[in-house]
Amino acid sequence: MFEAEMNLEFTSVKGIKNKFFGDSLFLAEIHGPGRIWLQSMSPAKLAAAIEPY
């Protein structure tokens, strides 16, 4: 999640080694002033974590 004032762009990962051995071929870049929120839990773990609230 990021603030609306920020710009989101998708770029390709550079380097042939990354294309063959990397997790993804694309990288998300967010530019501009503002805040971003990241979460790295799986959807099931996230649901379990917020369920008490």
Structure-block tokens of residue 29: 């870049």
Give the model's confidence band at 39: pLDDT under 50 very low, under 70 low, under 90 confident, else very high.
confident
Q: Do 4 and 33 contact (CB within 8 A), yes or no?
A: no
Buried b / exposed e over 10-19, threshold 16 CB at 10 Å, is: eeeeeeeeee
Percentage of the chain lying above the pLDDT 90 cut: 36
Residue-wise pLDDT tens digits, 24-37: 567 789 999 999 99
Kindly report whether the global pTM for this prediction surpasses the value 0.85.
Answer: no
Closest CA to 10 of 32, 28, 33, 34: 28
Structure-block tokens of residue 18: 């990354």
